Amino acid sequence: MEKVRVLLVDDHALFRSGVKALLSRQEGIEVVGEAADGLEGVKRAKQLRPHVVLLDLHMPGLSGHDTLKLLLEEMPEVQVVMLTVSEDAEDLMESLKAGARGYLLKNIETEHLVDSIRRAARGEPVMSPQMTGKLLQGIQGLARGEAPACTSEREKLSPREREILVLLARGASNKEIGRVLNLAESTVKIHVQHILRKLNLSSRVQAAVYAVEQGLVPKQ
């Protein structure tokens, strides 16, 4: 049988090395590559065509959730499993709604991680036992008709996206925004695209007008 091809996307080199060493000893699993951030992860995934991507949630630059969305837009066949320290219920629900095949905590036992990778490669959902209760609570909340965490267009934006929107509204270019926020220009470009999509806007000018109307920047 073909080995399960795994790509590791995590900004901590030591953690990646440890997971790679662990998985290299497992029969039927091959770590085909690593990436230190979301943009590199998407690029490497397109090159290497892994079966499973183990993706960190909180990384500098492009967030884990945005990386997840880009991965599935480019390669809907890939199985993305979040591997994170976050036990936050909102992180869990947002990951699953965005299309993650699973949600695992980094304190996971070796046997559970290996089994989860194999199951995810078969298209089965996987999750750390500590998170199943929080998933149930989230589902029950939706069933009771409770409002989701993002109740307005503005609240759909991440803190980083709101920062970029403010700078954009002040007339800053992608390059200038990247310099201010210490981000690559390509990363800023992707964030701007996400902002426009989330707010259902078609141009930077519309985004600037929106930011002024919402009181994010003062009117001139």
Look up the CATH number of the domain holding residue 120: 3.40.50.2300
Q: Are residues 102 and 159 in the same domain?
A: no
- Model pLDDT for residues 204-213, shown as the tens digit of each residue: 888 888 888 7
> For residue 191, how far is the Cα from the chain centroid?
12
Edge-to-edge strand order for the sheet containing 52-55?
A: 29-35, 4-9, 52-55, 79-84, 102-105, 126-127
For residue 114, being part of any structural domain is answered with yes
- Provide the β-strand partners of residue 127: 103
Q: What is the pLDDT of residue 99?
A: 87
Q: What is the pLDDT of residue 36?
A: 94
E strands of 12-108, at which residues? Answer: 29-35, 52-55, 79-84, 102-105
Place of tokens 């884990």: 64
> For residue 32, how far is the Cα from the chain centroid?
20
Say which DSSP state 203 is in: S
- pTM metric for this prediction: 0.65
Q: Are residues 17 and 123 in the same domain?
A: yes
For residue 148, being part of any structural domain is answered with no
For residue 218, being part of any structural domain is answered with no
- Model pLDDT for residues 34-82, shown as the tens digit of each residue: 999 999 999 999 999 999 999 999 888 888 988 998 998 888 889 999 9
Q: Are residues 125 and 201 in the same domain?
A: no
Q: What is the pLDDT of residue 142?
A: 54
Last residue of a domain, one of 143, 163, 197: 143
Q: Are residues 16 and 97 in the same domain?
A: yes
Q: Are residues 63 and 162 in the same domain?
A: no
Q: Are residues 167 and 127 in the same domain?
A: no
Place of tokens 């909180």: 58
For residue 52, being part of any structural domain is answered with yes
For residue 149, being part of any structural domain is answered with no
Domain that includes residue 188, residue range: 154-213
Q: Are residues 34 and 134 in the same domain?
A: yes
Q: Report the number of distinct structural domains present in the chain.
A: 2
For residue 159, being part of any structural domain is answered with yes
Last residue of a domain, one of 143, 176, 199: 143
Q: Are residues 63 and 135 in the same domain?
A: yes
For residue 95, being part of any structural domain is answered with yes
For residue 220, being part of any structural domain is answered with no
Residues 90/84, Cβ–Cβ less than 8 Å: no
Q: Are residues 186 and 83 in the same domain?
A: no
Query: Which residues of the chain are under the pLDDT cut of 70?
Result: 1, 136-155, 217-220
What is the maximal distance between C-alpha atoms in the chain?
65
- In sequence order, the 6+-apart residues with CB closer than 8 A to the CB of 42 are 67, 70, 71, 74
Last residue of a domain, one of 86, 111, 143: 143
Q: Are residues 177 and 83 in the same domain?
A: no
Q: Are residues 58 and 117 in the same domain?
A: yes
Residue 42: name the closest of 7, 5, 82 by CA. 7
Nearest-5° Cα angle at 65, 157 to 134: 100
- In sequence order, the 6+-apart residues with CB closer than 8 A to the CB of 102 are 79, 81, 82, 116, 120, 125, 126, 127
Q: Are residues 169 and 198 in the same domain?
A: yes
56-68 as b/e, with b when 16 or more CB fall inside 10 Å? Answer: bbebebbbbbbbb
